[in-house]
Amino acid sequence: MNSVVLMVVGLGMMAAGYLFYSRFIAERIYRLDPDFRTPAHEFRDGVDYVPTNRFVLWGHHFTSVAGAAPIVGPAIAVIWGWGPAVAWVVLGTIFFAGVHDFGALWASVRNKGKSIGTLTGNIIGARARNLFLVVIFLLLLMVNAAFAVVIANLLVSTPTSVIPVWGAILVALVIGQMIYRWKISLLVTSVIGVVVLYLLIWIGNSYPIVLPDNVLGLGPRATWIVLLFAYAGIASLLPVWVLLQPRDYINGLQLFLGLGLMYLAVLIARPEVVAPMVNHDVPAGTPSMLPLLFVTIACGAISGFHGLVSSGTTSKQLDKETDARFVGYFGAFGEGSLALAAIIACTAGFATLVDWQAVYTAFGQGGVTAFVRGGDAILVAGLGIPADLGATMLATMAILFAATTMDTGLRLQRFVVQEVGELAGIKVNTLFGTVIALAACLALAFGAGQDGAGGMVIWPLFGTTNQLLAGLTLSIISVMLIRLGRPAWFTAIPLAFLLTMTLWALQGQIMRFYNTSNWLLFTMSILILVAALWVAVEAIIAMGRGRKGAPVASTSH
Amino acid sequence: MPGRGDGDDWLARLQAGLTEFYVAPYRRTFARARREEEDLFMLLVFAETLGVPNPAAWYTMELMPVLYEHFHDWHRRMGMEHSPLDHLKCC
């Protein structure tokens, strides 16, 4: 099978999903109203509530939700063959992610722009809301630990990316100064920023930096993990305009550029997919595809994190309610296309099946490294760039996404720590809060396995938690629909499927951690199981209440 | 730049879109930072009235009338249900 076929069919199906299915959902189920006064207009304050052009808003929404996760997940999941991964990404985007992201946006817009957390409290109950906070903290913790390991692995396997990755921090610092201190036009700044970043990639490609085998008793990977958390800690403490804001911005541009280049290269090079459609010969120790596929690929098929973005910031900026279809559903399309590009890179970027099998030697092996290597082959063949330059570029791209998520995530974790401290009556200052958050992340990154190597063990557990969050959002949308007397099948069926797969996967993970005596992850997964069951019970109760005809106070004009 | 033909118009729109893309995610953070700074300034101006010696009181006194209208929001934000000042009864 040729990768162009995969690309055209995949993108085509998702586009058809946007054109037809999302229209059906918009007109019949959510019944968007162009005259509805959105929170952006109703509470317009120039800060949180700002009516925004839908293309700009889509750009925001997409770049906030897309990161390293839609690359990492599919890159691991292709071990079961490309067929299941593509099917889940494409169908997941059409029937799960699109409806979920779009629905979260709609639910929030119809409820004064409130976040999913607050909506949980209003619609399902206060207990579910507290549960929600616990789930978010665990999610942030896991994403930080897993991404630190992903980045460290990439820095070790692609040493040419060291210069551009750390150089990008300097680029961002200078961009911040250019904009706020020297008042240089953003267009000029953007062009200079991107050019310098690619120049750094080119320089880095000739000067790989490899850490010595032993730094103060730590291996290279462990050293990188420690350095990364030190950086993330410092970055999360700096004023946002100095580093985080320009970094987010340049990464956003980089996302569009990278994705465009990748698909262009696939079109020109037209590589054959060498991996099997369904891998009957999986390496020993690989867990069963069912149900693990559905938690390994979270972002790219359905991700609860998107609901947080949809309801947290995007809903407050929606100009017209009818824009929700484009911003929410098409945002999911963008994410799905990134995941599809990752699948193509990991399955078509190798010369033969034997080469592919040499990379995917065990579950959790290959992964982003395979994405970088495979993507490099495609980029080199398609765009005629020097060998390995593609690898440096993709590694830099993936690392920058993951690193941005890390420093934002650490900042959010600090807020949670401070909030919990306040509840307990202890004043936690910024520095101390950051230290606690950092300690938790490091404990998880190293606690999950020696030298941080076992950090990828966390990944499916992260997916599980993420899906659980998506389940919570879907149940809120379903309850709203039931209360409005509209068919809830289009959200309830994905919800039932998702909860089944999540619980099934979780049960398997708990057994696994128990058998390998990994008590840290065992405890975490038990916590998540309790939360999952709890959500299921609360959601069913709330749906039952809704059927009896509770007042529809939350969705009035 | 507006009004100088289609080319400039297109450029101006791109520029505006990029700017929105740059500033929007952090609007809230900036607004909060500004408010915190202003809260501190409030404290400096009203320090003497609240019983905290302020060497610059003579200078800050004339700023008080300007800040009176923000006083109510400020004391509520600082966790005081009612005005802490006897001569200033805003609520």
Q: Give B36-61 pLDDT, tens digit per residue.
A: 888 888 888 888 888 888 888 888 88
Whether A286 contacts chain B with CB within 8 A: no
Q: Which residues pair with A272 in a beta bridge?
A: A2
User: Taking the model in full, what pTM does it have?
Assistant: 0.88
Q: pLDDT tens for residues A218-231?
A: 788 888 988 988 88
How far is it, in rounded angstroms, from Cα B55 to Cα A383? 68
pLDDT at A553: 44
C-alpha distance from A47 to closest chain B C-alpha (Å)? 6
C-alpha distance from A185 to closest chain B C-alpha (Å)? 8
Is ipTM over 0.90? no
pLDDT at A454: 54
Q: Which residues of B touch A (CB under 8 A)?
A: 11, 14-15, 17-22, 24-31, 33
How far is it, in rounded angstroms, from Cα B56 to Cα A138? 49
Of the candidates A55, A60, A240, which has its C-beta nearest B24's C-beta?
A60
pLDDT at A486: 93
Q: Which residues in chain B have Cβ-Cβ distances shorter than 8 Å to A313?
A: 25
Provide the token pair at A144: 């930080």
Please give the interface size between A and B, counted as residue pairs whose CB atoms are below 8 Å apart: 50
Task: Kindly list the distances between the CA atom of residue B64 and the CA atoms of B58, B59, B72, B85, B91, in Å, as whole numbers in the listed order.
Answer: 11, 10, 13, 13, 18
What DSSP character marks residue A178?
A: H
Q: Which residues pair with A318 in a beta bridge?
A: A52
For an interface test with A, the pick among B8, B11, B14, B21 (most A C-beta atoms closer than 10 Å) comes out as B21
**B15 contacts A186? CB cut-off 8 A:** yes
Cis ω before A386 (30° cut-off from 0): no
Chain A 436-455, CB below 8 Å of chain B: which residues?
none
B32, burial (CB in 10 Å: exposed 0-12, middle 13-18, buried 19+): exposed
Task: Kindly list the distances between the CA atom of residue A513 and the CA atoms of A144, A253, A324, A441, A520, in Å, as whole numbers in the listed order.
Answer: 20, 40, 41, 19, 9
Q: pLDDT tens for residues A97-133?
A: 999 999 999 999 999 988 888 888 888 887 777 777 7
Whether A530 contacts chain B with CB within 8 A: no
Contact status, residue A437 vs residue A412, Cβ threshold 8 Å: no
Those residues whose C-beta lies under 8 Å from the C-beta of residue A174, and which sit 6 or more positions away, are none
- A3-55+69-555 CATH: 1.20.1740
How far is it, in rounded angstroms, from Cα A499 to Cα A470? 9
C-alpha distance from B11 to closest chain A C-alpha (Å)? 9
For chain A, give every domain's residue range. 3-55+69-555
Residue A444: CB atoms within 10 Å? 23
How far is it, in rounded angstroms, from Cα A65 to Cα B25? 13
Q: Could you tell me which chain B residue has the CA closest to the CA of A251?
A: B22
pLDDT at A448: 65
**A52 contacts B20? CB cut-off 8 A:** yes
Q: Which residues in chain A have Cβ-Cβ distances shorter than 8 Å to B12?
A: none
Contact status, residue A293 vs residue A85, Cβ threshold 8 Å: yes
Whether A354 contacts chain B with CB within 8 A: no
Q: Which residues pair with A218 in a beta bridge?
A: A215
pLDDT at A122: 85
Query: Locate tokens 């080469």: which residue?
Result: A355
Contact status, residue A259 vs residue A375, Cβ threshold 8 Å: no
Q: Could you tell me which chain A residue has the CA closest to the CA of B28?
A: A47
pLDDT at A552: 45
- The angle, 0 to 180 degrees and rounded to 10, between the axes of the packed helices B5-23 and A244-269 is 120
Stretches in chain A below the pLDDT threshold 70:
423, 448-456, 547-557
pLDDT at A197: 93
**A241 contacts B30? CB cut-off 8 A:** yes
Those residues whose C-beta lies under 8 Å from the C-beta of residue A268, and which sit 6 or more positions away, are A381, A382, A383
Residues in chain A: 557
**B27 contacts A64? CB cut-off 8 A:** no
How far is it, in rounded angstroms, from Cα A32 to Cα A543? 22
